[in-house]
A and B are shown apart, each in its own frame.
Chain A
Amino acid sequence: MNSRTQFYAFVALIACAFTSQAFAQGQSCISLKTTAQVEKEVVNEKGEKSKVLVPAGKVVPGTEVVWTVTANNTCKQASDKVVIDNPVPEHMTLVANSAFGAGSQITYSLDGKSFAPAGQLTVKENGTERPARADEIKHIRWQFKDSLAPGAMAIARFRAVLN
């Protein structure tokens, strides 16, 4: 994460709270939140099955977790060049093609430094280049094309399996 010198009197605080719903504090225009959920199959009275997302409670190796990041614009001005960066959590393996974010271009990184779209990620192995596997992806990035209007929310989501 790059720190940038500010010329405005914004005091931005970076919070690392460890609660199930964490909010960023301070006078920034984006309120950021991330949640962990799992998919549960429910059956209604008619016997129809459907899937719902519930908070991730009982997570054991092999469980697939749905991670969601939401960015809310809390200011009166639009925010542009909104980019969400999310390292794949430790002890987890990214589920291929699971990253989703309406209105964003999604790129991935194997080393945290260079990013590329999914189809262009390659690894050099034994002198030849091969496509990178999902478990080699270390970072995901969502670059939102349009600016985020005041009061609007940008959503990014991906799935990962606990090792």
Chain B
Amino acid sequence: MFPVLKQIRRVGLAVVALGAIGFTGTAYAQMGTPSGDTISNTATVSYSVNSVNQTPVSASTSFLVDTVINLNVTGGITYNVTPGAIAEVATYTVTNTSNITSNFALGATNEAAAANDFDMSNLVVHVDNGDGVYNAVDDTATSITGLASGISRLVFVTGDVPIGATNNQDAPVRLTATAIDPSTLAAWVNDTNADDPNTVQIVVASAAANADDTFHIQTATLGVTKSSSVITDNLTPPSPNPKAIPGATVEYVITISNTGSESATLQQISDNLPAATTFRADEYPGATDVSVQVDANPPAYCTSDADADGCVLSGTTLTVGAPAITTVAAGSTVTVRFRVTIN
């Protein structure tokens, strides 16, 4: 009739009636004495009458352990993401700290807090199938069912990063779990009736819990400038401090600076020559036409004809791409120079 005597577990408890339940760091397989268990006390008295020992007498009383509903959600992880990325994954842990098996309804929302710089779009909840790894094909459940007492389950939330988010912006995403009674498929209802030692009543210590993970933008931030200076007025002799007169050589300098946190892969830089100018060839060492310099390193040069060096002048559009220029590292500046004649 009595349950098998097990070692009494030390569960760190505050000694209050129906107070909050604390527990030590290790998750026990059973979170407290199971709901429905019988707790019995048996007292025995021995005594004598007129110095003659009598037969001892025993008495017992018992009550049923009631159901306590409680849960825990943990998050607190930051994920570095890129603007425009699709289906980024945040992981949370939901633990059933009740003393009975429970279901849990789940919801993922953008947390409108002071730390919210942008919203993730298309938030979807995926309950882990048990292998601990997010897989869109396997992890299709959107709520937790039949989670035993003391057991945890991983929950993945996927979301898309808006293309307009900028470097170092944050989007906190909150996972909220609500304990659901498997027998009613609705939230557990606190029993407000008088205490009854002979029935298992429901005590809802905590109906819901939540935790936040943060998506943190780590991307390149490119700034482009364009300037020009007169190199020479091509007069004989050339004037000191040459002016921008017809026939003068003007050098255009285009800088691309990356003040962000990630390297930027450039596809191409294109520049339309202004009207009333003509591209000048052979202005750089080795009869080259365009100078490409990364930070203060020695420049590389390319020509404006249609070859494989990455630079080409097509009509009045100069295009510079791979392999002349490929990436701008974080904290780096790429400078492109070319020259024209003022018509």
Contact = CB atoms under 8 A, between A and B. Distances in A.
Tell me the dominant secondary structure on chain B's binding face: loop
Contact of A36 (B5, B13, B33, B63): B63
A58 B192 CA distance: 10
Contacts of B39: 36, 59, 65, 89-92, 162
Contacts of B56: 1-2, 4, 12, 14
B195 A18 contact: no
21 contacts: A4-B56, A7-B52, A12-B54, A17-B60, A18-B38, A28-B57, A29-B54, A34-B61, A55-B195, A57-B195, A62-B14, A64-B17, A69-B43, A83-B45, A86-B41, A90-B3, A91-B3, A91-B8, A91-B65, A161-B15, A162-B33
A132 interface: no
A34 B43 contact: yes
B68 interface: yes
Category for how many chain B residues contact A: 35 or more
Interface in B267-297: none
Contacts of B266: none
Given A59-B63, A81-B47, A24 B197 contact: no
Nearest to A76: B49
Interface string B1-40: 0110110111101111111110000000001110001111
Contacts, number: 221
Contact of A23 (B31, B50, B59, B65): B59
Nearest to B13: A62
B201 to A, nearest CB: 5
Given A4-B55, A57-B196, A64 B15 contact: yes
Contact of B63 (A6, A29, A57, A61): A57
A58 B191 contact: yes
Interface string A89-122: 1111101000000000000000000000000000
Contacts of A156: 43
Interface of B: 2-3, 5-6, 8-11, 13-21, 31-33, 37-68, 99, 191, 194-198, 201, 203, 205
A3 B62 CA distance: 24
Given A1-B44, A60-B66, A63-B18, 4 more contacts: A59-B197, A61-B65, A64-B16, A90-B8
Contacts of A31: 57
Contacts of B40: 18, 89-90
A90 B5 contact: yes
Contacts of A59: 39, 63-66, 197
A32 B59 contact: yes
Given A34-B43, A81-B46, A61 B13 contact: yes
A33 B63 contact: no
Contacts of B99: 60-61
Contact of B42 (A4, A35, A87): A87
Contact of A71 (B42, B45, B194, B196): B45
Contacts of A149: none
Given A61-B68, A162-B39, A12 B55 contact: yes
A20 B32 contact: no
A15 B63 CA distance: 17
> Considering the complex of A and B, which 6 residue pairs feature the smallest CB-CB distances, nearest first?
A57-B195, A61-B32, A12-B55, A60-B68, A32-B59, A69-B43
A49 to B, nearest CB: 14
A146 interface: no
Contact of A16 (B51, B58, B68): B58
A24 B32 contact: no
Given A15-B59, A60-B65, A69-B59, A32 B45 contact: yes
A109 B312 CA distance: 95
Contact of B33 (A35, A40, A61, A67): A61
Interface centre among A26, A35, A91, A148 (most CB of B within 10 A): A91
Nearest to A18: B62
Contact of B60 (A2, A10, A34): A34
A152 interface: no
A77 B60 contact: no
Given A81-B48, A163-B8, A58 B54 contact: no
A50 interface: no
A44 interface: no
Contacts of A38: 17, 195
Contacts of B8: 90-93, 135, 163
Given A1-B56, A64-B17, A29 B11 contact: no
Contacts of B6: 90
